Chains A and B, each alone.
Chain A
C-alpha cells in the first residue's frame, strides 16, 4: 500500500522566529518544486542539502502527477476516522497506479485556516523567503523523500506555504502521521515513537532530556539487560521441567533465585525514578489551600513572579480556581490558587469553596498556607484533617509580622502526616527561594543518577511495575518450593510485561537457550 504525500507545519504555533513546513512522501520533491523558486530545481538536489529561495503559489498540483484538486470548503465538517482510507482505497482501485493523491484528509484547524482564502492568488505570487532542506529516502525521518521549508515565524507565513503545498497536491497530514510513518517504516520502535511524542510535548528542560534519552534507546538498553537475565533464569527452570531426567536436581537452584531477585531489584531501581520521571513528563498539580486572608493569592503571585491573582485585605477575595504553569527545578508544575476555606459566606463564595475542596481532593501535592501572625483557628484544624495521604508543604506566611503560632502547633495538627514547613513572607518575598527548594524536594528532584533511562511514561511504568511484581512472585514461589512450571509462569509473565516496553517478543529463543546451556536428551 504505497503512501501518498503529506504536509504539515512541523513547529509549534506561536511567535517563534522560524516555522518549518514538512512534506513527506513519493511526491514530496515535486510538490516542493511547485512552490519553490530558487537557483535550481529541488528534484535535482543532492540529499541532505539546503537551498535558499522563495516560496510561491503553484501553477497546478504536481505531486504524484495528479491534477489539482478542489480544496475543502470552509467550515466543512470533519469526517469520521477511516473514511479517508475508504476513499483513498477506492480511488486506488479505480485509478490503479500508486502515488495517486488523496485529497486533504480530516483537516485540522491549521489546515482549515491555511486552505481558506487562497482562491484568488495568482500562480507565482511570492509567499515568503525560505530555506529548504532536502532529505532523500530512505535517509530521512520517515524513510520517504522529505522536504522541510523553513519560513519566517508567526502563524501566517507557514500557513500560506502549507496552503501552497496542498494546492500543489500534497495532503494535510493527520496529527502524528509523520511519526506513524517513521514507525511504519521501521525507523522507530514503539518506545522511540512514544518518545517523539513526548519530545514534541516536552515543555521543560528535564522532560526534554528524558525524551531524548528514551529516543536514544537508553531505557530499552537497560531493560534488555534485565530481560536477558530473566530469560536465562526461565531457561534454567524450563530445562528442569522438560528434561527432568537429564537435568535433574533441585527445582529452582539458589543462583537462579538470586539472579531473578537481582533483576527485580534493577526494575525497582528504574521504577524508583519513575514517580519523578512521570512528574517531569506529565507535570504535577499543586493546590494552595488555607483559610481566607492567609495570603494564598499573595504567595501564588510571589511564586509566579507575576501579579496574576487579585489580592485584597478582605477575606473571601478569591472565588474561582486560578491556575498557572510554573517550572520547578525542571518539573512542570501547575499551581492552583483557591478560595479560602470556611463555612458560610455568600452563594458565590460557597461555590468557590466547593471548588477549592475538589481541587484539594484531587491534588497529590498541597501547599498549605497558614497565617502565622494569627492564632490557629477551627478552619485550620479542618484543613489539616483533609491533608492525610498527600504530599504536604506548609508555608508559614507573614513572617514579617510577630508570630502567633508556636512551633510544633502545626505538627500536632497534622498528626503524623509527613510534611515540611517553611516560613515565608509573601509580601516581602522572604523565604520564597527556600519554599521553591522545598517544593522541588517534595517532587523528587535531585535524584542521583539523573534521568537517563528513567521510566517517564505511565504506560511503561505500569508495565514495568507488573514485571517487577511478577518477578517478586517468582522468587517468592521458588523460595516456598513451588514447582518449576509455576515459577516459570511468573517469569514468563515478567518477560512479557518487559516486552511491552521494549517491543520484543518473549519466548522465541527459550529453547535455544536451553539447548545451548544444558546437555539434554538421552
Chain B
C-alpha cells in the first residue's frame, strides 16, 4: 500500500512520462498550465492533447508531470527549502497541483524529523491534521503509519473539542514521510544547503546552494525551521545549530534580511531524554491508548497497531528546590537568551518561578519509538546545565536511578515577522517568495505542516496564474492560523488553541472532510474517489437523520432513555424519499401501554438528548446502519444543532464585514480620525479586509468604524 500516493493518485506511464489524475480545471487555467510547461520546459513537454482534455470531463483532466531525477543544477517550477514538517507538505501540494518541484534539505535522512516531542496532534493541533488530510496533506496518513499510541483527547467534553493525538515512533515517522514523498511522481528530493534566494527583475529566480549549485525556479518556499541563525544553549554552554548536533542557517537568514525582511528572535526548548532501562516503571501510572485506535486520516480504514503506554509522574518540593538553587545557571534567567519562549510550553524553570505556589507539576514519560531506548520527559524542558538536569530528574518518583541519554536544551533562532506576508504566505515585497513553518513565528509540527500546505498550494496557484486559496476563519483552523499570523502581533511562538477560533463549534475534527474535501477536490489535491467517499458519508448521515426524524419512540415521562418503549415506525417511515425532517413525527396509531404516561419523541430528538445516542436507540430496537464513526458524526450534528446553527448565523453576519475589501491605495491616505496606534499598526499590516483590520491588536472597534468611513469615501472618490 505504501507505493500508492497518499492521495490515491495513480501512476500511468504514457509517452515515457508519468500522468496522474488531478482536479477540475477551467480552460483558462489549463492555458495557464501549458504556459508553465512551455516556459519552464527543458527536456519535458506537455503531453496533453486537446482531445484528451475535452474527453476527460470537468474533474478528470490529466496533467503531465516529468519524472524528474535529482540533478546537479535544475529547473523547477517551485523549490522548497527544508524538508521539515512544513517543507514536506509544501512540496507534496506543489506536486499534486502538477508542478515540477524540488525539495531541498540538508540531509534526506532528517526528512520530517520530530525535533522535540514524539507526538502528533492534541487539542486544536489534531484538528489541523484532520484538515490537512482533507486537503490531501500527508501528516495524517504518515501518523497513522508511524503511530504507536492513539488517543482522543477531551473525550469528557463536547465533541467540538475532541482532538486526536498519537504518539509516534520518531524514526518510523521520518521513514514513512520519505516513502510518501517518494510515491509522488516527479518530486525531486535534493540534498544540500540553501545559501541564497536569487531574484531577477524583482522576482524569485533561483535558489543558490553553498556548494555552488543553483536550482532555477519560478517560486520558492522557505521552511528552515529553527535553523535560521540557530544558537543552542545547555547551561552556560552555547553553540551554533538549529537542533543539537546540526548546522545553523546563517547565510540564508542574512539573505532574507538583505531582501528587506524584518526579523525577530524566538526561543524554544526541549527536555532531557532518559534511558528506558533506568526508569522504575513500577512506580509510575500508565496512560494507555484508546481501543480500538481511531485513525487520523480520513483515508485510513482501520489501524492494526499494538499500542504502547505512556507513563505519568510528578515533580515535588525537592525538584523545585534544586531548580531554584540553580537558576543563576539558566541562560534564560541570567539573560543570555534574548528570544522569547512560548508560554504554553514553558521550561520547568519557568513553571517553578512563575507558579511558585504550586508544589508539584505533572511529568509524562513518552517512548520515542518502539525499538529505541529514548524516553522523552514531557514537562521538563530545560536549559540548565546537564548535571543540574540530572539532579532534578532524579528527585522525581520513579526516576531515582535515571540515566540521561541527552540533556535538555534551548534553541534561539531568527524568524520573519509574519505581518510581511500575505494570507497566501507569500512575502508581500518579493513576488514568488513564500515562507512557512517555524520561520513565520509558529511552533509545533502541525502548525508548520498547515502553513506548508497553504504555501505549497498558493505557490503552485501563483505559478499557474490561478486564483489564490485563502481559507476562512469559519472554514478551518488552518484559516485561523494564517489569519492570526499575518494580522496579529506576536511576541512569542504562535501555537494553535481551540479558543483562537471564534467559530469553534463549526470547526470540528469530525467534520474536517465535510468542510474541506470539496475545496481539495476542486483544486486537484484529492482524487475523485476520495471526494466521493466524503459525499457518500455525508449523504448517508443526512438520510439517516431524515429517517430518524420520522420514527417515533415512546419515552415514559419520568424514565431514562433505556426504559423507553419503541413505537413501530409509521408506514413509509423507513424510506428515504427525502420527505424531510420537517414533516414532524408521523402519526402514531398504537401505544404499547395506553395507561403509561408516555411521551412521543422523534428518534432524532432522543439522540439529541444529553443521555441519548445511536447506541441508546439501538437498545430500543431502532438500529442504525451507519458505521460507528459516522454515527458519531450524526450524534454531534444532532446534539449541537442549535449551537451550530447559532454559530453559523454569527459567522454569516461576521462574513459580511469580514470580507469587505480594503483597497491597497487606502494606506497612502493620511486616514484622519484613527488613533495613532491604530494608524501605525494598520500602515504596517495593511490588512486586506475590514475583518482583518479589526483583529489587529490596538485597532479598536471605533477605529474600524472610522476605517469604514474612509473606505467608503475612498471608494466613492476612486
- Residues of A461-496 at the interface with B, using a CB-CB cut-off of 8 Å, are 480-486, 488-489, 492
Decide: A485 and B702 in contact? CB cutoff 8 A: no
Complex interface residues of chain A between 218 and 245 (CB less than 8 A to chain B): 238, 241-245
CB–CB A489/B345 < 8 A? no
User: How far apart sit A499 and B700, CA to CA, in the bound complex (Å)?
Assistant: 11
Residue in B closest to A248 when the chains form the complex, CB atoms: B362
> Which has the most chain A C-beta neighbours within 10 Å: B124, B156, B358?
B156
CB atoms of A510 and B499 under 8 A apart: yes
B671 & A1 in contact (Cβ 8 Å cutoff): yes
Instruction: From the candidates A92, A242, A486, A499, name the one contacting B499 in the complex (CB within 8 A).
Output: A242
CB closest chain-A residue, reference B672: A1
- In the bound assembly, the distance between CA atoms of A505 and B505 in angstroms comes to 21
Asked if B717 and A82 make an inter-chain contact with CB atoms under 8 angstroms apart, the answer reads no
Q: Report the nearest B residue to A481, measured CB to CB.
A: B610
**Is the pair B355, A485 in contact by a Cβ cutoff of 8 Å?**
no
Shortest distance from the beta carbon of A283 to any chain B beta carbon, whole Å: 29
Residues on A with C-beta less than 8 A from B714 are: 1
Is the C-beta of B354 less than 8 angstroms from some C-beta in chain A?
yes
Contacts of B709 in A (CB 8 A): 184
Q: Does A2 contact B (CB under 8 A)?
A: yes
CB <8 Å contact, B343 and A521: yes
Check A109 for interface membership: any CB of B closer than 8 A: no
Kindly specify which of B157-165, B180-188, B518-526 makes contact with the partner chain: B157-165
B108 at the interface (CB under 8 A from A): no
Which B residues from 487 to 520 make CB contacts under 8 A with A?
A: 497-500, 502, 504-505
* Given A2-B672, A241-B498, A522-B364; A190-B647 close (CB under 8 Å): no
A522 touching B378 by the CB < 8 A rule? yes
Residue of B nearest to A519 (CB): B355
B160 touches A485 (CB 8 A): yes
CB pair B123–A522 under 8 Å, yes or no, is no
- In-complex Cβ contact of A504 among B362, B378, B700 (8 A): B700
A246 and B154 alpha carbons, distance in the complex (Å): 12
Q: Which residues of A contact B364 (CB under 8 A)?
A: 522
B705 within 8 A of A: yes
Complex formed: what's the CA distance from A474 to B361 in Å? 31
Are the CB atoms of B700 and A521 closer together than 8 Å? no
A63-79 vs B, Cβ < 8 Å mask (1 yes, 0 no): 00000000000000000
Contact at B702–A519, with CB atoms within 8 Å? no
* Per-position binary interface string of chain B over residues 338-366, scored 1 when its CB falls under 8 Å from any chain A CB and 0 otherwise: 00001111100001001100100110100
B residues near A504, Cβ cutoff 8 Å: 700-701
Task: Say yes or no: A508-B697 contact (C-beta < 8 A), given A241-B154, A483-B157, A521-B346.
Answer: yes
Chain A residues near B717 (CB, 8 Å)?
A: 85-86, 89-90, 92-93
B670 within 8 A of A: yes
Residues of A within 8 A of B362 (CB): 245-246, 522
Complex contact A519–B672 (CB within 8 A): no
Chain A interface SS verdict (over half): helix
Q: B201 within 8 Å of A by Cβ?
A: no
- What residues on B are CB-neighbors of A324 within 8 Å? none
Which residues of B have CB within 8 Å of A185?
A: 672-673
Residues of A within 8 A of B281 (CB): none
Q: Do A505 and B161 touch (CB < 8 A)?
A: no
- Contacts A190-B702, A241-B123, A489-B643; A521 near B342 (Cβ below 8 A): yes
Report B-chain residues with C-beta under 8 Å of the C-beta of A184.
672-673, 706, 709
Contact A1 B700 (CB under 8 A): no
Quick check: is A450 within 8 A (CB to CB) of the other chain? no
Interface status of A351 (Cβ within 8 A of chain B): no
Residues of B within 8 Å of A181, CB to CB, are 673
Q: How many residues of A contact B (CB 8 A)?
A: 49
The verdict on A242 contacting B498 (CB below 8 Å), with A1-B710, A89-B713, A485-B158 known, is yes
**8 Å CB contacts to A: which residues of B686-717?**
694, 697, 700-702, 705-706, 709-710, 713-714, 716-717
Given A244-B154, A485-B158, A515-B344: A85 touches B710 (CB 8 Å cut-off): no
Q: For the complex, is A503 an interface residue (Cβ under 8 Å from B)?
A: yes
B379 at the interface (CB under 8 A from A): yes
User: Using a CB-CB cutoff of 8 Å, which residues 309-349 of chain B contact chain A?
Assistant: 342-346
Q: Verify if A511 is at the interface (C-beta below 8 Å from B).
A: yes
CA distance A226 to B500 in the complex (A): 23
A486 to B646, CA, bound (A): 12
B669 CB within 8 Å of chain A: yes
- CB of B675 within 8 Å of the partner chain: yes
**In the complex, which residue of chain A has the Cβ closest to the Cβ of B165?**
A245
Q: Which of B342, B351, B499, B504 has the most CB of A within 10 A?
A: B499
Interface pair A499/B701, CB less than 8 Å apart: yes
Contact between B669 and A186, CB atoms less than 8 A apart: no
Instruction: Give Cα distance in the complex from A246 to B378, angstroms.
Output: 12
Residue in contact with A242 in the complex, picked from B123, B646, B713, CB distance below 8 Å: B123
CA distance A185 to B706 in the complex (A): 9
Roughly how many angstroms separate A231 CA and B152 CA in the complex, as a whole number?
A: 29
Residues of B within 8 Å of A272, CB to CB, are none
B153 interface residue per 8 A CB criterion: yes
User: Is A385 in contact with chain B by the CB < 8 A criterion?
Assistant: no
CB distance from B150 to the nearest CB of A (A): 16
A507 at interface, CB cutoff 8 A: yes
- Docked Cα-Cα span, A392 to B351, in Å, equals 65
A33 part of interface (Cβ distance < 8 Å): no
Closest to A237 in B: B499
Contact with A along B612-625 (1 / 0, CB 8 A): 00000000000000
Chain B nearest CB from A6 CB (Å) reads 14
* Cβ-neighbour of A241 out of B157, B345, B710, B713 (below 8 A): B157
CB contacts (< 8 Å) of A515 on chain B: these are: 343-344
Q: Which residue of A lies closest to B124 (CB)?
A: A242
Q: Indicate if A189 sits at the interface (CB-CB under 8 A).
A: yes
Given contacts A190-B705, A242-B123, contact A519 B358 (CB under 8 A): yes
Determine if A85 and B713 form an interchain contact, defined as CB atoms under 8 angstroms apart. Answer: yes
* A508, A510, A521, most chain B CB atoms within 10 A: A521
Residue pair A486, B158 in contact (C-beta under 8 Å): yes
Given A488-B499, A515-B344, A82-B673 contact (CB < 8 Å): no
Nearest CB of chain B from residue A87's CB, rounded to whole Å: 10
Give min CB distance, B282 to chain A, whole Å.
23
A401 CB–B CB distance under 8 Å: no
**With a CB–CB cut-off of 8 A, which chain A residues contact B504?**
485, 489
Is A3's CB under 8 angstroms from B672's CB?
yes
In contact, A485 and B153 (Cβ under 8 angstroms): no
> From A186, which residue of chain B is reached at the shortest CB distance?
B675
List residues of chain B with CB within 8 A of the CB of A244.
123, 153-154, 156-157
* B497 / chain A contacts, CB cutoff of 8 Å: 238, 242, 511
Q: Which residues of B have CB within 8 Å of A307?
A: none
Given contacts A89-B717, A90-B717, contact A503 B702 (CB under 8 A): yes
Q: Which of A241, A484, A510 has the most CB of B within 10 A?
A: A241
B196 CB, min distance to chain A CBs, angstroms: 37
Tell whether, in the assembled complex, residue B499 and residue A1 are in contact, meaning their CB atoms are under 8 Å apart.
no
Q: Are the C-beta atoms of A520 and B716 separated by less than 8 Å?
A: no
Residues of chain B contacted by A243 (CB below 8 angstroms): 123, 344
Cα distance A246–B705 in the bound complex, in angstroms: 40
Contact A183 B702, beta carbon cutoff 8 Å: yes
Chain B residue with Cβ nearest A83: B716
4 nearest A-B pairs in the assembled complex, by CB-CB distance: A89-B717, A184-B673, A483-B158, A519-B355
6 contacts between A and B (CB under 8 A): A85-B713, A241-B157, A482-B158, A519-B346, A519-B351, A522-B362
Given contacts A489-B646, A505-B694, 11 further A-B contacts (CB under 8 A): A1-B670, A85-B716, A184-B673, A245-B153, A251-B157, A485-B158, A486-B643, A504-B700, A510-B499, A519-B351, A522-B345
| Chain B residues close to A by CB (< 8 Å) | 123-124, 153-154, 156-158, 160-161, 342-346, 351, 354-355, 358, 361-362, 364, 378-379, 497-500, 502, 504-505, 610, 643, 646-647, 669-675, 694, 697, 700-702, 705-706, 709-710, 713-714, 716-717
Q: Give A contacts to B, CB under 8 Å.
A: 1-3, 82, 85-86, 89-90, 92-93, 181, 183-186, 189-190, 238, 241-246, 251, 480-486, 488-489, 492, 499, 503-505, 507-508, 510-511, 514-515, 519-522
